[in-house]
Structure 1
């Protein structure tokens, strides 16, 4: 069996990554005090709960928070890199005495580059747009720093391989080609691969798109920064339009159905990139390797889903109990001169149980799915294997009365669903405040449960039928899920606890940590003088 040329290029990239893991010659590394590190890492664990993100985004979120704070408080950014990196290491985001000291200079170059672009862009960007541009550049800077300190060589190689493959497989229907340019089609595939393969967030995807618009972005010299500053606002708008493209979701849905075979190939290569070609050549060994990789991912997925089900249910339950004790019970006592404990009990128990039912009722795999997986992996790795073409069906443009009717049906569904729930709650003796809190929690739970259900099906290949009952649920609960999505976005955007921690606690706490480290260093020096 002959490997395709694209698969061979992928193998070479993985070999480069594998060689990078080999021990290098002794070189200076960045070290921090262990005691100060333990104190700082404890605080970072607390921040990880407050600023909760999905596991693969936790480190990047911390880098972004610390980077923004130091930029904001720095009198000048010319020597910011070293204390910034030391704080990241103290917080446990990178191992102690592992990052080479040369990274200080490289991180400083990134900071200087961003500072120069932000300063020069003021001559070309107006008013409020300047603030949004600077905020956007800082987000991209955080991503670039993380990739510098922990290069995603494998991930980028797999993304490029899948994106190149999907350019051939994901096409727009001929009758719709006038509605999207070829360049946009290619970019939307690239964005869709990022979102499906590694669930990357918009700033990371934006950085990778920026590197395509400015190929020398990582090694740009100072003379080119002025010209970049002139065009950066237009590039930002172009990238944001791609990330929010109305057809982006259509591309993502198709790509997301076929991402797992690429991940399995990546898993096999990670284990032994030098022996991959031999595995493919020996009859039966390739299928065995695919099955092993698939089963490992399935075990991890089930563990992750059980963990998500437990912690999300517990979180909703505890949050609901706290709100009931802090708001609902005092409100009922004050207005109604009594508490409906039955209603409070239902209010506390229904949202977490509903979330648990949503999460636990999904099917993660099947033997039929495994057989489809084996076929898809063979298609994408071997030469001359015929691959199916997937056509993106662009939504029809609704006009006139039909468009009005569709909107009215959606609004009617919204009214019927929330109105029906409010009527049931009223009959059950819920107070007005309890009804509002219950509906908000139910919306958040519906959105969160739907997201977890979606993630639990990540090993499934091809389009999956939801079933009649879930189809009915989806139709009537779509307004509830959409409300939960909106409300969840507002909670993330206006995380009051996070803002208070940043302003009142984090800055002085980091001053104390740096003082503690310098104090211990001074003590060590004095102790050494005794001998």
Structure 2
């Protein structure tokens, strides 16, 4: 029998607590919604989820933020919105029916009131754009706290804390001989905490902000009135501090280390989650642990492939629908009535090429090499058992580049940018693309390229071996990186200005929710009348 580390024993205990929390307590009334209304609302949310595509783990958070924003805008003074808000979330399929205790309504109302108070008393004298940014920043955090209250992430939090503690001991900062304004131990630990969240569960910035606030303010979930007033008046400084943590110059270096070593923590978490009550007994036997690692690793590979295929499908459908709308609303009328040069060939290429590119990007993803499994086994064993020798991961400070070298690098980057887009534009001109069709093609090409590369990066989730750079890979990066970076920027703007999403939010969302609430009440009315018949 091998001796488990103290951190591993604590992780097992936390997973046991998580397992126990899954069994609802008897006799506690729960929130119920009508099944028929729920099935209609759930279908609508699935359609929205495809059009407003996000990664799977962000869908619920996105829905909470969207619904919260709408209900806060429409709410009357002193109106309590927690109950209809939770009912809408359950109807939409974001939380299971008959599982959320009714006492959660009051808790959620307190959370909503807290963030509404912060917004009202923030002393924000910034311009309108900055006010909107702060509003979205605060509501994003509010959505995360609401989600954590309705579905506490006990298991995920335990694994993040577990990896963070290990990485604090192992990551060493190498800043050089002369250091001005270097990173402190506290800053290093904060960056490790952020990096573990991003690498393990790909958490978005809003959720990380919420976790950082809980770290910085231990009473964040239960603020007293004076404390709430103080935080409201100081929210701009808090915002600046949190964003400084998220954009720290050492963040990317530390993240790369955590990303390279997160596989062993994910596998160990999966093994414990299978049967938390028996986990300690099984983990204490190295041969049993090795077999469990192999089994869990195989399941992870299959699950990852399914997840990547779904992400590719839904993201392509989302962009494809938007492409069809843009073609019908803008491209076709422009070519027919303005340029009088409508071409079915141009339209066909514009519609078919983006999904084809996504198909190629996803289908050419290579599975982990055979030697990767052995490395995973060794890494899991290292973190599971008590050992005297500990690995050290060195984070090196980026080398400073002189003005001349920096200018040369920028020149070559611009050369790659002009070369990439120049070749594409030349090819489109040869195919008789008009200026608008060309612009739309480039728009969707860059977005699909960025999304496809993101999915390919997710495919490396289980890879511990460092990939060797090839000459062909360097040439590919030289020409593709400008396209991907443009796609990244366009995608961030697209989420704010997507015409299809705007139509849903402004014209469909509210009337549909009123219809669903009417349908539910009508169903309850019919049931009451039916029960009166003896």
TM value normalised by structure 2:
0.92
Residue 285 of structure 1: CA displacement? 0.5
- Counterpart of 2:506 in structure 1 is 503
Alignment: residue pair count: 530
> Which shifted more, 2-11 or 466-475?
466-475
CA RMSD of aligned residues (A): 2.4
Q: Deviations over 1:340-362 (max 9, x none)?
A: 55555554444433332222222
> Which shifted more, 462-471 or 415-424?
462-471
Which of residues 277, 300, 305 is equivalent to 2:303? 300
- Counterpart of 1:215 in structure 2 is 218
Please list every run of 5 or more consecutive structure 2 residues that lacks an aligned counterpart in the other structure. Answer: none
Distance 1:310 1:116, change over 3 A: closer
Residue 10 of structure 1: CA displacement? 0.9
Within 1, Cα distance between the matches of 2:208 and 2:507?
32
Distance 1:24 1:315, change over 3 A: closer
- Counterpart of 2:105 in structure 1 is 104
CA contact (8 A) 2:4 2:284 kept: no
Please list every run of 5 or more consecutive structure 1 residues that lacks an aligned counterpart in the other structure. Answer: none
Within 2, Cα distance between the matches of 1:136 and 1:199?
19
Once the two structures are superposed, the pairs formed by residues 254-273 of structure 1 within 5 Å of their partners are: 254-273=257-276
Once the two structures are superposed, the pairs formed by residues 277-296 of structure 1 within 5 Å of their partners are: 277-296=280-299
- Counterpart of 2:52 in structure 1 is 51
Residue 93 of structure 1 pairs with residue 94 of structure 2: yes
- Counterpart of 1:400 in structure 2 is 403
Once the two structures are superposed, the pairs formed by residues 57-456 of structure 1 within 5 Å of their partners are: 57-122=58-123, 128=128, 129-175=130-176, 178=180, 179-312=182-315, 328=331, 331-333=334-336, 338=341, 344-384=347-387, 386-456=389-459
Within 2, Cα distance between the matches of 1:370 and 1:81?
48
- Find the residue that maps to 1:457 and give its secondary structure: helix
Distance 1:344 1:510, change over 3 A: closer
Within 1, Cα distance between the matches of 2:329 and 2:17?
57
Distance 1:125 1:190, change over 3 A: farther
- Counterpart of 1:459 in structure 2 is 462
Distance 1:136 1:307, change over 3 A: closer
Residue 494 of structure 1 pairs with residue 497 of structure 2: yes
Distance 1:83 1:350, change over 3 A: closer
CA contact (8 A) 2:52 2:318 kept: no
Within 1, Cα distance between the matches of 2:234 and 2:46?
40
- Find the residue that maps to 2:394 and give its secondary structure: strand
Distance 1:119 1:466, change over 3 A: same
CA contact (8 A) 1:321 1:348 kept: yes
Q: Deviations over 1:354-387 (max 9, x none)?
A: 3322222222212200011011101111111533
Residue 506 of structure 1: CA displacement? 1.7
- Find the residue that maps to 1:284 and give its secondary structure: helix
Residue 440 of structure 1: CA displacement? 2.1
Within 2, Cα distance between the matches of 1:130 and 1:311?
33
Within 1, Cα distance between the matches of 2:80 and 2:511?
20
Distance 1:484 1:102, change over 3 A: same
CA contact (8 A) 1:118 1:229 kept: yes
Which of residues 506, 516, 526 is equivalent to 1:523? 526
Residue 238 of structure 1: CA displacement? 0.6
Distance 1:339 1:519, change over 3 A: closer
Residue 310 of structure 1: CA displacement? 4.6
Within 2, Cα distance between the matches of 1:206 and 1:142?
11
Distance 1:318 1:97, change over 3 A: closer
CA contact (8 A) 1:364 1:458 kept: no
Distance 1:222 1:316, change over 3 A: closer
CA contact (8 A) 1:78 1:108 kept: no
Q: Deviations over 1:406-464 (max 9, x none)?
A: 22221122112211222233234333333222222221222122111111111101422
Within 1, Cα distance between the matches of 2:74 and 2:237?
29
- Counterpart of 2:38 in structure 1 is 37
Within 2, Cα distance between the matches of 1:195 and 1:130?
27
CA contact (8 A) 1:258 1:462 kept: no
> Which shifted more, 240-249 or 306-315?
306-315
> Which shifted more, 54-63 or 357-366?
357-366
Within 2, Cα distance between the matches of 1:325 and 1:75?
39
Residue 472 of structure 1 pairs with residue 479 of structure 2: no
> Which shifted more, 487-496 or 372-381?
487-496
Within 2, Cα distance between the matches of 1:420 and 1:25?
67
> Which shifted more, 53-62 or 408-417?
408-417
TM value normalised by structure 1:
0.93
> Which shifted more, 128-137 or 279-288?
128-137
